Amino acid sequence: MTPRFGIMSTAKKNSPKRITTHVLQEMKQKGEKISMLTSYDFSMAGIVDAAGIDVILVGDSASNVMAGHETTLPITLDQMIYHASSVVRAINRSLIVVDLPFGSYQGNSKEALTSSIKIMKESGAHAVKLEGGQEVVESIERILSAGIPVMGHLGLTPQSIYKFGTYVVRAKEDEEAKKLLEDAKALEEAGCFALVLEKIPAKLAKMVAESISIPVIGIGAGKDVDGQVLVIHDMLGITQEFSPRFLRRYNDLYTSIKSSVEDYIKDVKSGDFPNEKEQY
Ligand code: KIV
């Protein structure tokens, strides 16, 4: 295959101001919204970074959109590191956060630290994210003690899908809402630099964002939080079957890619491609 050296040199050419966890904190203080999207590979991450996204999440949603699994549970630590290191090679501005996959941190805080160190060392990412509230505080403190920034994740936590049984909106009842607020405060106190809130009532998300000093990034959590995150395959319309109310599609790439592939097939079959200018 022809080497593609040009890609790398373009991505690294200019060095704009890097987004750090401190920059995100300042953005919250100034009321400036934080933009976050997932990416899992070099080419997509390069585009997302060049567009000016603040945070790239190498989410364990890679298990769904990249590997085709029904849940996020099967993806492994080594697979997350593969995705993360591909993303790291593409970016020159965004903060890169990597999900600790299911089974890589729930055992105990030592395991959580070992997994986080492996991600940081082998991928070059800037922070890790994990799901859960007070039950993961000890792990968060241990990871932080090694100097690794941690993002929390509450509300709908897909790694616990078999405990909850469905992907419906979380914390609609008072008791669960109260627990979520307490968990958010516990994560802030433990030292998380930011928190993702997934699929909870907008009113509750607003209350959380106003109650804690760290940035709150929502997905299906309304507008009154400090930033928004979406899975890139969903917002670009590559995935078709996933259509929750919170999803805004900015493109219909499924249709566009499919029709380009159909055109290519037609050109190959008819002998129209390659033409005389497209040969040596
Ligand atoms: O894995 C992921 O993509 C996520 C986002 C949905 C927040 O955790």
Residues 116-131 have pLDDT tens digits of: 999 999 999 999 999 9
Tell me which residues are annotated as active site. Answer: 198
Residue nearest to atom 2 of ligand 1 (CA): 59
CB-count burial class (<10 Å; 0-12, 13-18, 19+) for 20: middle
Percent of the chain with pLDDT over 90: 92
Place of tokens 């029904």: 70
Residue nearest to atom 5 of ligand 1 (CA): 59
Whether the Cβ atoms of residue 8 and residue 45 lie closer than 8 Å to each other:
no
Residue nearest to atom 8 of ligand 1 (CA): 59
For the segment 165-186, the average pLDDT, to the nearest whole number, is 96
**Dihedral pair phi/psi, residue 196, rounded to 5°:** -95, 135
Q: Is the CB of 230 under 6 A from ligand 1?
A: no
State the distance from the centre of ligand 1 to the C-alpha of 61, rounded, in angstroms. Answer: 6
Q: How far apart are CA 92 and CA 193, in angstroms?
A: 21
State the distance from the centre of ligand 1 to the C-alpha of 154, rounded, in angstroms. Answer: 11
- State which CATH number among 1.20.210.10, 3.40.50.1220, 3.20.20.60, 3.30.460.10 fits the domain covering 6-249: 3.20.20.60
State the distance from the centre of ligand 1 to the C-alpha of 153, rounded, in angstroms. Answer: 9
pLDDT bin (cut points 50, 70, 90) of residue 13 is low
Q: Is the CB of 235 under 6 A from ligand 1?
A: no
Q: Is the CB of 231 under 6 A from ligand 1?
A: yes
Instruction: Name the residue of 229, 235, 239, 247 to mutate for ligand 1: max ligand atoms within 8 A of Cβ.
Output: 229
Q: How far apart are CA 75 and CA 67, in angstroms?
A: 8
Domain boundaries, the chain: 6-249, 252-280
State the distance from the centre of ligand 1 to the C-alpha of 197, rounded, in angstroms. Answer: 10
pLDDT tens-place string over residues 177-208: 999 999 999 999 999 999 999 999 999 999 99
